Every structure is written in C-alpha cells, then in structure tokens.
C-alpha cells in the first residue's frame, strides 16, 4: 500500500475516532451532569470542545511522550537520581530522612493548625 493512502486512512481514522468520542462525551455529559450536579446541557460542538480542552490540559499539545519509565524518560531520570542520592547516605542518615519524611507526609495534622 502506498504511503499517501496509508496516511489518509490514518487521518480519517483519527477524525472518526475524535467525532465518536465527542459523541460519547456529549451523551454521557447530558445524561449525568444535569441530573447529578444541576449542570448545563451541552451541544455536540461544545462536547467536542470539552474533549479537545481535556486532551490539551491533561496530555499537552505536542506529540507522544515516553512516561513509561523507558530509556530517556523523565521518570527513569528522577528514579536514578533518587537511588543515587539514597545510596550515598549512611544507614543513620537514611533512617533520619525516612523519619523526617514520615513526620512531614504521613502523620495527621495537629488539631490546632487546621
């Protein structure tokens, strides 16, 4: 199959998928939001806009990014840095850091500070 024909099929498939998911968003929104939250009823075009907005907000405008932790991903970089720093600490320093993190993030807030 020629590259041009394959490219056109991909464009058509992406467009159909976008329109289909817009229709699903339209149906689900108008079924759930007005009944549960007394929210507005959307038109089909508003649902497509909402779908596009959520894509931009949650996934960005650019192309695919490798967030799976594969080679060169930001997740792998920070994980490597964390293990590198933790391995350079003595066992006493490591325990002190764990205790400090537990106190900061795992304990319930004091009633006087609410």
Higher per-residue confidence, 65 vs 46: 46
In whole angstroms, give the CA distance from residue 71 to residue 59. 20
Same domain, 36 and 83: no
Domain range for 91 is: 69-107
pLDDT of residue 106: 81
Q: Is 84 a domain residue? A: yes
Among the listed residues 54, 51, 55, 52, the one whose alpha carbon sits nearest the alpha carbon of residue 24: 51
Query: How many domains are contained in the chain?
Result: 2
Mean pLDDT (the chain) is 84
Same domain, 99 and 78: yes
Instruction: Please tell me the pTM assigned to this model.
Output: 0.51
Taking residues 94-113, what's their average pLDDT?
A: 78
Residue 104 clears pLDDT 70, i.e. is over it:
yes
Higher per-residue confidence, 112 vs 12: 12
Which string of DSSP letters, residue by residue, matches 22-63? HHHHHHHHHHHHHHHH--PPPPHHHHHHHHHHHHHHHH-SSS
pLDDT confidence band for 50 (50 / 70 / 90): very high
pLDDT confidence band for 29 (50 / 70 / 90): very high
């Amino acid at each position: 199959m020629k590259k041009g024909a394959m490219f056109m099929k991909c464009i058509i498939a992406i467009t159909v998928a976008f329109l289909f998911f817009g229709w699903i968003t339209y149906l689900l929104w108008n079924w759930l939001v007005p009944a549960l939250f007394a929210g507005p009823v959307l038109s089909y075009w508003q649902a497509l806009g909402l779908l596009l907005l959520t894509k931009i907000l949650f996934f960005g405008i650019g192309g695919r990014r490798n967030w799976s932790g594969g080679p060169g991903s930001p997740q792998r970089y920070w994980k490597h840095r964390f293990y590198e720093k933790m391995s350079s600490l003595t066992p006493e320093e490591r325990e002190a850091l764990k205790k400090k993190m537990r106190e900061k993030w795992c304990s319930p807030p004091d009633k006087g500070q609410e």
